[in-house]
Structure 1
């Protein structure tokens, strides 16, 4: 199985290529959804990496796939600008998901 990246900038793609991960740079929601669905149908892709901006474009579709499918593993990564979420976004996510405070 291979890893694949859908990024919104060339710098992130170049960095991942240095690690042996192929991918593509896209900006429009329609083309991102098309590539995302193509990746889901490719049984060779085991890990699908999405930059934060790409994830934000198609977050609803990504979450539906995460809930229904085991493969590929879909991972949201920061881009060249670093993490754009709040430092405690994981805690907030857990609080919203299960309704308890940590």
Structure 2
């Protein structure tokens, strides 16, 4: 019985790892996905739920966006920081 429980626990752990890998691979870094966040960033209005959802999806892409001079100014702006905070998203610390 203990061996069966250990095998089931191992299978569940492997399933979680596979799902986690699949989810992280599925992210396509498309800054246009964050268009719903542009007005809140620029105008200081509360972000809609779509913005927060997309911001969370695009979080793995933030370092790439920060390295792009045309996007970095938006990601680093005070408005973007307010939107990220309202959406409960932390901008990752990126390696140079």
Identify the TM-score tier after normalising by the shorter chain.
0.3 to 0.5
Q: Which has the higher helix share?
A: 2
Q: Which has the higher strand share?
A: 1
What is the TM-score normalised by the length of structure 1? 0.37
What is the TM-score normalised by the length of structure 2? 0.38
